[in-house]
Amino acid sequence: MSALHIKKGATKHSAYNLRPSFSDVQERHTIAVLVENEPGVLARVIGLFSGRGYNIESLTVAEVDHTGHLSRITIVTTGTPQVIEQIKAQLGRIVSVHEVHDLTVEGASVERELAMLKVVGDGEKRVEALRLADIFRANVVDSTLSSFVFEITGAPEKIDAFADLMRPLGLSEIARTGIAALMRGD
Amino acid sequence: MLVQALKDQGVDTVFGYPGGAVLPIYDEIFQQNDVRHVLVRHEQGAVHAAEGYARSTGKPGVVLVTSGPGATNAVTGLTDALMDSIPIVVFTGQVPTFMIGSDAFQEADTVGITRPCTKHNWLVKDTNTLSGVIHEAFHVATSGRPGPVLVDIPKDVQFATGTYTKPSPTASHYQPRVKGDLEEITELVAAMEKAKRPVFYTGGGVINSGPAASQLLRELVDATGFPITSTLMGLGAYPASGKNWLGMLGMHGLYEANLAMHDCDLLINIGARFDDRITGRIDAFSPKSTKAHIDIDPSSINKVIKTDIPIVGDVAHVLEDMLKVWKSRGRKTNAEAVAKWHMKINDWRKVDCLAFTAGDKTIKPQQALARLEALTKGRDRYITTEVGQHQMWAAQYLTFEDPNRWMTSGGLGTMGYGFPASIGVQMAHPESLVINVAGEASWLMNMQEMGTAVQYRLPVKQFILNNERLGMVRQWQELLHGERYSHSWSEALPDFVKLAEAFGAKGIICKDPADLDDAIMEMIDHDGPVIFDCLVEKHENCFPMIPSGKAHNEMLLGEAETQGVIQAGGAVLV
Ligand SMILES: Cc1cc2nc3c(=O)[nH]c(=O)nc-3n(C[C@H](O)[C@H](O)[C@H](O)COP(=O)(O)OP(=O)(O)OC[C@H]3O[C@@H](n4cnc5c(N)ncnc54)[C@H](O)[C@@H]3O)c2cc1C
Ligand SMILES: Cc1ncc(C[n+]2csc(CCOP(=O)(O)OP(=O)(O)O)c2C)c(N)n1
């Protein structure tokens, strides 16, 4: 027996996973990040999320300012308010990051995503698919006698709904761009 | 071009190791005398040496290594520097641009591998951009929260000629904010005027900020009379002899420091990051206090502990403004309450948590350090450490009057850090007494650097507290794993005296407490590198200790019967 009062081998406590208990509410935020358009910049951002265990629901990136060499990354993420704050602060630390904006808190914003869906089928199903596409304002960008490729733009939920309807009608492939978002107004 | 850029950045020393992919740069180095190159014996050693150089001078440390294995060997040092916010610039050679991606000889995706362990890194593909990138690398490493950066230079880019640009401080978009928000600062000052039980909790950020920050901190602490504690990384920013000094806090911090943190009503964090070694159980951390946090990195604020008064800025800038505001508002404090607070702290101090009984047959590690302290105090002294119990005892029993005198691996806890770091410190301060307080196991991790110490006649003192155990691991196994000492023995140890002699250095062995003082003096007086093999008590535990997952007021004080402070039978949960 040792002279210590704590029971030997009694505690399973580890110093390494002591997370504070701030709020537990999970929030969904859309974050816009303006970055230097240089090799590896996307790896830096993605590495930050995987390395620190943050979620990525959607991520899009493209150059938006050719002369200024700037790209815009739009990330949709979920986490507790404290985690969201950390994500923004951690993004801000990356040397190639110029600006970080939380579109969810900085004011009203619009979010859009583009998707292409291939639907394979014939007869009644084919007609039904076309009818639904019309209701959803999806465009036909390719067609054969047994298939369509639809293009649809909208909020992610609208695309989810459209895909759900297409599934029994022969949905065979889907490609989505991820979310692009801008603040409303000037 | 690289050497020219280094000169323009004021670099005088480079720690490195050559190889095929950096031969053109080594050729340049050969043909000049302004930049000294120190040939280490392992690339990890180069990075730790650069860290020691950087931490002891406040200037960035510079490293040059080859591609592939040279670069991968540097990874531990880079991660260490990232965790401890040490400014380092590492140059790696790379295979020529036209061979990148072909699994060429000694090719590694260096920027990919080091992306998560550098503050930033660059692969230079065009010689015309090389000098600009190098200047930017120094700027990024030293601005804001300092850290390691890496520049990967393919061999064809080294050979090619290009245009050189001089450094220009405004060229970079990376300009972190250094001035704190005046409103927040005023809010903090107002809280300080009213506080009954305030405490300053300071950290490595004060050292990072530079000597002016330490100076301002001293002024503020002495003017307000508030007690002050510091993390492992911030030791020396406020002098250990200062009357408001509480000693280090945290897992192995002092009783009075931790209880002051627990009971305070105003906690002022200056350049520290609420590390888990400090907070212990988060929901029981300093439950009664308003918390202010001064940090240059917004991500440090609210990362772990909710902050009431966040101030983003550089310590020196913020302290200067704080002092101005506090003075202009009439230099007020709640002096009566603060005096009472000091009385309470003095009661805790009486527990004398660092008391130990010196051995008469075997040397206690605490005793070895207390004697080292007594015999070297007041000298122009720099201390580095390895990682383990000895590191904590060094932090407890050695005292620091000035910043930049204490170099230790805190965040990553890298065994093998201390010896190369001592080499880097000695390079920067050739006339000073540089001592690496080591454990035998840690020391062996980079012992090849004996070659470097001897080659460059660096009189570094390797003070090894040899318990023939991986002591810190053994202590955790004793406390948490039912005394099952799984692989925590240092078996097959070398004869350290012979080892020293084999390298052409001096070895001293000491096992009798009666010989300790003479042996230490012999070590100090020897003009050259020394390995001091101090055989100490094998199963000594390091106290005080807050077991992980516990709160500050649940500290273990030690095998108390030997101290007679608390009732016989053991450690006390206060
Ligand atoms: C075996 C072992 C045991 C340990 N036990 C303890 C222990 O008991 N007590 C203890 O204290 N530590 C202990 N440590 C060390 C611990 O792990 C951490 O490394 C240490 O506590 C962190 O110190 P810090 O908070 O001062 O932060 P640092 O890592 O030094 O970080 C500095 C902070 O200051 C900020 N900063 C940097 N520059 C500036 C500037 N110019 N202006 C403003 N802010 C700036 C940074 O953003 C950062 O947030 C131990 C380590 C080991 C290996
Ligand atoms: C590179 C590395 N590997 C493993 C560890 C885990 N570790 C922490 S302390 C320690 C034992 C250190 O033993 P020693 O250097 O003899 O010092 P002591 O604790 O006995 O003073 C170990 C293995 C570490 N910190 N670093």
**Digit-coded pLDDT (tens) for B432-466:** 999 999 999 999 999 999 999 999 999 999 999 99
A86 vs B276, B303, B483: nearest CB? B303
| The pLDDT of residue B425 is above 60 | yes
Contacts of A40 in chain B (CB under 8 A): 111-112, 115, 123
A11 vs B280, B301, B549: nearest CB? B549
| The pLDDT of residue B95 is above 80 | yes
**Digit-coded pLDDT (tens) for B175-188:** 999 999 999 999 99
Contact of B80 with B412, CB cutoff 8 Å: yes
Contacts of A94 in chain B (CB under 8 A): 120
Tokens matching residue B196: 């009954």
Burial classification of residue B62, based on how many CB atoms lie within 10 Å of its CB (0-12 exposed, 13-18 middle, 19 or more buried): buried
Q: How confident is the model at residue B281 (pLDDT cuts 50, 70, 90)?
A: confident
| The pLDDT of residue A45 is above 50 | yes
**Does residue B437 have its Cβ closer than 6 Å to ligand 2?**
no
Q: A97: nearest CA in chain B?
A: B174
Contact of A37 with A71, CB cutoff 8 Å: yes
Distance B402 CA to ligand 1 centre (A): 17
A80 touches chain B (CB under 8 A): no
Burial classification of residue A110, based on how many CB atoms lie within 10 Å of its CB (0-12 exposed, 13-18 middle, 19 or more buried): exposed
Q: Which has more pLDDT, A96 or A21?
A: A96
A184 touches chain B (CB under 8 A): no
User: What pLDDT score does A21 carry?
Assistant: 52
Average pLDDT over residues B282-296: 95
Contact of B393 with B369, CB cutoff 8 Å: yes
A18 vs B112, B281, B560: nearest CB? B281
Residue among B179, B421, B423 at smallest CA distance from B322: B179
Burial classification of residue B325, based on how many CB atoms lie within 10 Å of its CB (0-12 exposed, 13-18 middle, 19 or more buried): middle
Beta-carbon contacts of A54 under 8 Å, excluding residues fewer than 6 positions away, are A48, A77, A79, A83, A86, A87
Asked if the peptide bond before residue B544 counts as cis, ω within 30 degrees of 0, the response is yes
Neighbour tally for A17: CB within 10 Å = 8
Known catalytic residue: B155? Answer: yes
Q: Is B571's CB within 8 Å of A6's CB?
A: yes
Beta-carbon contacts of B354 under 8 Å, excluding residues fewer than 6 positions away, are B254, B366, B396, B397
A13 touches chain B (CB under 8 A): yes
DSSP state of A12: -
| The pLDDT of residue A6 is above 80 | no
Average pLDDT, chain B: 95
Helix (H, G, I), strand (E, B) or coil at A38: coil
Ligand 1 atom 28, closest CA: B204
Query: Whole-angstrom Cα distance, residue B461 to residue B459?
Result: 6
A1 touches chain B (CB under 8 A): no
Q: Is A13's CB within 8 Å of B478's CB?
A: no
Query: Whole-angstrom Cα distance, residue B70 to residue B153?
Result: 13
Contact of B123 with B130, CB cutoff 8 Å: no
**Digit-coded pLDDT (tens) for A106-164:** 989 999 999 999 999 999 999 999 999 999 999 999 999 999 999 999 999 999 999 99
Identify residue B414 by its one-letter amino acid code.
Answer: T
**Digit-coded pLDDT (tens) for B349-377:** 999 999 999 999 999 999 999 999 999 99
Query: Whole-angstrom Cα distance, residue B535 to residue A112?
Result: 70
Mutate to test the interface with A, among B94, B281, B303 (most CBs of A within 10 A): B303
Burial classification of residue B386, based on how many CB atoms lie within 10 Å of its CB (0-12 exposed, 13-18 middle, 19 or more buried): buried
Angle between helices A81-93 and A41-51 (to 10 degrees): 150
Question: What are the residue ranges of helices labelled H in B74-210?
Answer: 75-83, 110-114, 127-142, 155-159, 182-194, 204-209
Dihedral sign (CA B37, B41, B42, B47): negative
User: What pLDDT score does A20 carry?
Assistant: 44
Distance B413 CA to ligand 2 centre (A): 8
| The pLDDT of residue A3 is above 50 | no
**If you write DSSP's letter for every residue of A49-65 in order, what string do you get?**
HHHTT---SEEEEEEEE
ipTM: 0.91
Q: Is B306's CB within 8 Å of A6's CB?
A: no
Q: Is B573's CB within 8 Å of A5's CB?
A: yes
Burial classification of residue B137, based on how many CB atoms lie within 10 Å of its CB (0-12 exposed, 13-18 middle, 19 or more buried): buried
User: What pLDDT score does B559 carry?
Assistant: 67
User: What pLDDT score does B311 carry?
Assistant: 97
Distance from the first to the final alpha carbon of chain B: 62
Contact of B522 with B513, CB cutoff 8 Å: no
- What's the gap in Å between the CA of B444 and the closest CA on chain A? 27
**Digit-coded pLDDT (tens) for B141-193:** 999 999 999 999 999 999 999 999 999 877 788 999 999 999 999 999 999 99
A123 touches chain B (CB under 8 A): no
Distance B87 CA to ligand 1 centre (A): 15
Contact of A116 with A149, CB cutoff 8 Å: yes
Q: In degrees, to the nearest 5, what angle opens at C-alpha A47 toward C-alphas A45 and A48? A: 65
* 3-class secondary structure per residue, B224-271: HCCCEEECHHHCCCCCCCCCCEEEECCCCCCHHHHHHHHHCCEEEEEC
Mutate to test the pocket of ligand 1, among B51, B76, B84, B85 (most ligand atoms within 8 A of CB): B85
User: What pLDDT score does A135 carry?
Assistant: 97
User: What pLDDT score does B547 carry?
Assistant: 81
Residue among A83, A49, A94, A25 at smallest CA distance from B303: A83
Q: In degrees, to the nearest 5, what angle opens at C-alpha B174 toward C-alphas B80 and B78? A: 15
User: What pLDDT score does A22 carry?
Assistant: 67
**If you write DSSP's letter for every residue of B34-94 in order, what string do you get?**
SSEEEE-SSHHHHHHHHHHHHHHHSSPEEEEE-STHHHHHTHHHHHHHHHTT--EEEEEEE
| The pLDDT of residue B570 is above 50 | no
| The pLDDT of residue A59 is above 60 | yes
Give me the residue label for tokens 């000049």: B32
Q: How confident is the model at residue A17 (pLDDT cuts 50, 70, 90)?
A: very low
Give the number of beta-carbon pairs within 8 Å between A and B. 103
Contact of B397 with B366, CB cutoff 8 Å: yes
Mutate to test the interface with B, among A1, A93, A98, A102 (most CBs of B within 10 A): A93
Contacts of B303 in chain A (CB under 8 A): 86, 89
Tokens matching residue A58: 């959607």
User: What pLDDT score does B530 carry?
Assistant: 98
Q: B140: nearest CA in chain A?
A: A95
Query: Whole-angstrom Cα distance, residue B492 to residue B494?
Result: 6
Average pLDDT over residues B499-525: 98
Average pLDDT, chain A: 89
**Does residue B16 have its Cβ closer than 6 Å to ligand 2?**
no
Residue among B64, B82, B83 at smallest CA distance from B140: B82
Percent of chain B at pLDDT > 70 equals 97
Query: Whole-angstrom Cα distance, residue B473 to residue B480?
Result: 10
**Digit-coded pLDDT (tens) for B515-544:** 999 999 999 999 999 999 999 999 999 999
User: What pLDDT score does B171 carry?
Assistant: 78
Q: Cα B563 to chain center, whole Å?
A: 31
Q: Which has more pLDDT, A153 or B480?
A: A153
Contact of B389 with B442, CB cutoff 8 Å: no
Contacts of A4 in chain B (CB under 8 A): 479, 556, 559, 570-571
Ligand 1 atom 53, closest CA: B413
Helix (H) / strand (E) containing B281: none
Mutate to test the pocket of ligand 1, among B79, B235, B275 (most ligand atoms within 8 A of CB): B275
User: What pLDDT score does B558 carry?
Assistant: 78
Query: Whole-angstrom Cα distance, residue B478 to residue B480?
Result: 6
Contact of B134 with B128, CB cutoff 8 Å: no
